[in-house]
A and B are shown apart, each in its own frame.
Chain A
Amino acid sequence: MKLENKIFELKNFASEMAKLKSEKHFDFLVTIVGEDFGEEGLGCIYILENTKTNERISIKAVDSNRENAYIPTVSNLWKGAEILEREVYDLFGIKFLGNKDMRRLYLRSDFNGYPFRKDYDLSPENNKYTLEDDVEPDYTIEYTMDEEGHIQQIEHKLFTDDDYVINIGPQHPATHGVLRLQTILDGEVIRKIYPHCGYIHRGIEKMCEDYTYPQTLALTDRMDYLSAMMNRHALCSVIEDAMGVELSDRIHYIRTIMDELQRIDSHLLFYSCCAQDLGALTAFIFGMRDREEVLNVMEETTGGRLIQNYYRIGGCQADIDTNFVKDVKKFCEYLKPKFKEYNDIFTGNVILHNRFQGVGILSKENAISYGCTGGTGRAAGWNNDVRKNHPYDMYDKVDFQEITYNNGDCFDRYMVRMKEMEQSIHIIEQLIDNIPEGDFYIKQKPIIRVPEGQWYTSVEGSRGEIGVYLDSKGDKTPYRLKFRPMGLPLVSAMDEILRGEKIADLISVGATLDYVIPDIDR
């Protein structure tokens, strides 16, 4: 969608935002996009959704003082804003008045400067790595403004003297990558979790600013590699949306089928890793065995196992393979009886029930407040499926059920994914026989330029809403490109979910939240 930004003055920004939330029911903060607006100053674009009507609006707030940019926080309205504001502070240096945690999120605490600003020196000499350990501060800084407009700093201690702190990660098998969770324990009970991200922060968004539009596509598959198709789908859609490209029906069909195959791939890996985290190695091997079948089907057409690079602006890289239809059908028939096998071997297991049921509860209010989309939100009873709420491609023409549960515990999160695989098969079966003839690629100009403006488009990824914000100045490179990470809200909600639970439950919760770290850090 093209963004028509409402501009709020900083003086009454906080009250206007509060009004939007309480009076107009904009209770879901989709994302906060930090941006360097050049001479206009540094600022943010807030994208909000009304969860009743699914209406979306965007708010813009800019501070013209580049040296000391201050914007009032919205973390008192949306809990998920705290970590999103930390991200903006880290990359742009905008300080949020009233946010209790203004530490760096991705970069080392001794990092100099703010890399996403346009005047940052990107030369390799300026960005050398060091092998010195990072000495992290054990306090956070809160900035506040008094009535006369003076900025004050308040320090908050992260730990008390009696706290027993253990570090989980970055090298730990249960964190599914390089995430670090600083956990404060009281005996076996978790009192607080501070997540530390950025161990795989590659600055993809900043790199995209130097690339032409077709080049930016190359990096998307490497963010959340388990929803590689959807990441690329989101970026292609936003560019096509901005350029006003009309796609053929064949492309819509192919993209829908590929997205669903990718979802099955991701959920099978979720099932496998979930099983492995709980110590069920047999179920792990079973899940991975069937995942290879999905990869076979996709590989035949795309040529890649994990990183497919299949979509491009205006369609797909190549037409589907001649055997594609036959093999997809064969695969659907292959997978259907397997669900029963999974249930027999793992879902019905008493250990799983004991470790999942009633553990790690995330309520619907909190899921919305943190912005936990995808299976996590749906397990709490929040209908957040982008495929239903903002249909794209073929999703408004096929019949499928949005799986929701009500408890929001680990078991529901697990079941949502298991049931979603069946729905994906159902979607694929409706489409596979009817792929219409037509072009698989609508020819574009050799140099792609996007008209001036700001766009935001999202698709349903494997573990939530993956959205892309694009700000174009009419050049052949984007001025600012921002991906809405699916995993960041999940990680920020971990503290809320796990407070008061046992340390062993951290493994179950981490497994069922199903985050992918390169997607969080980008």
Chain B
Amino acid sequence: MEVRKPVIKSIPYDEFKDNETLEKLTKELQDGGANVIVGSLDQVVNWGRSNSLWSLTFATSCCGIEFMAVGCARYDFARFGFEVCRNSPRQADLIMCAGTITNKMAPVFKRLYDQMADPKYVIAVGGCAISGGPFKTSYHVVNGIDEIVPVDVYIPGCPPRPEAMLYGMMQLQRKIKVEKFFGGANHKEHKPIVVNGVETYEK
């Protein structure tokens, strides 16, 4: 059966670079078929969710300034459904981790993530959040936030250009479009694995 492609308004489907991953994910989620009624309801829910993603104003360093620039007049992510930023994690759907996470910040960041209500999404913005970036060898930097929280989209760059940020944010929208809200398969939380007393996540 042909799997329905997640389409967003702003960029045509074929212009995205990494369609294989998304198709694989869609196939896995749709494995066993989808109920006509529930499937249509899912589409309605996902349409709503993907077009009203409110992100947390969370910035530790340089990428935060670019994030501000993306929110301002020239790039304006509100056009694509990222209407406002929220200062409280309780009101946010999305955490754009813009900047380095250090050892001292790691528990705080984890707590912020835990405080957000489901469904919640994480975007790792910039080299530092992805892998530690230029500070990988430092004694006080976490080598990638995916050790602490599950990450949905990675946006490389140091800092990423605003265009790259918008592209990454739209990738997240597409990912949300294929989710299944009904039937229990929706946005499963990853089970933490405890290694030497430290909680980590399967990549």
Contacts and interface: CB of A to CB of B under 8 A. Distances in A.
Residue among B59, B72, B102, B198 with most chain A CB within 10 A: B102
B66 to A, nearest CB: 6
A200 B134 contact: no
Contact of B108 (A170, A177, A206, A291): A170
B72 A288 contact: yes
Given A202-B138, A207-B138, A292-B74, A128 B198 contact: yes
Interface stretch (A47-55, A129-137, A463-471, A496-504): A129-137
Residue among B61, B72, B162, B198 with most chain A CB within 10 A: B61
Interface residues of B, number: 43
A219 B100 CA distance: 13
B102 A200 contact: yes
Contact of B65 (A131, A171, A306): A306
Contacts of A289: 72-74
A244 interface: no
Contacts of A489: none
Contact of A285 (B57, B72, B87, B162): B72
Contacts of A200: 60-61, 99-100, 102, 105
B164 to A, nearest CB: 11
Given A115-B139, A127-B140, A128-B198, A201 B107 contact: no
A108 B104 contact: yes
Residue among A107, A124, A131, A172 with most chain B CB within 10 A: A131
Interface string A155-183: 00000000000000011110001100000
A96 interface: no
A202 B137 contact: no
Interface string A216-256: 00110010011000000000000000000000000000000
Contacts of A381: none
A486 to B, nearest CB: 15
A291 B99 CA distance: 21
A224 to B, nearest CB: 10
A222 B64 CA distance: 12
Given A173-B57, A288-B68, A203 B159 contact: no
Interface in B52-74: 57-62, 64-66, 68-69, 72-74
Contact of A178 (B87, B105, B137): B105
Given A130-B198, A134-B107, A307 B61 contact: no
Given A177-B59, A200-B60, A133 B139 contact: no
Nearest to B86: A173
A198 B158 contact: no
A351 interface: no
B103 A207 contact: no
Residue among B87, B89, B140, B141 with most chain A CB within 10 A: B140
B130 to A, nearest CB: 15
Nearest to B63: A306
B21 to A, nearest CB: 28
A199 interface: yes
Given A202-B141, A305-B66, A518-B61, A131 B105 contact: no
B65 A225 contact: yes
Given A170-B105, A204-B138, 19 more contacts: A107-B104, A126-B139, A127-B140, A130-B106, A171-B112, A173-B87, A199-B102, A200-B99, A200-B100, A201-B102, A202-B100, A202-B141, A203-B138, A203-B139, A207-B137, A210-B137, A222-B134, A225-B61, A518-B62
Interface of B: 57-62, 64-66, 68-69, 72-74, 87, 89, 99-100, 102-108, 110, 112, 134-135, 137-143, 148, 158-159, 161-162, 198-199
28 contacts: A106-B104, A107-B104, A108-B104, A122-B137, A127-B103, A127-B139, A129-B103, A130-B198, A172-B87, A177-B60, A178-B105, A198-B104, A199-B104, A200-B61, A201-B104, A202-B100, A202-B102, A204-B138, A206-B138, A207-B135, A210-B137, A222-B62, A288-B68, A288-B69, A289-B74, A292-B74, A305-B69, A307-B159
Nearest 9 A-B pairs (CB), nearest first? Answer: A288-B72, A129-B103, A127-B139, A225-B62, A518-B61, A129-B106, A203-B138, A202-B135, A199-B105
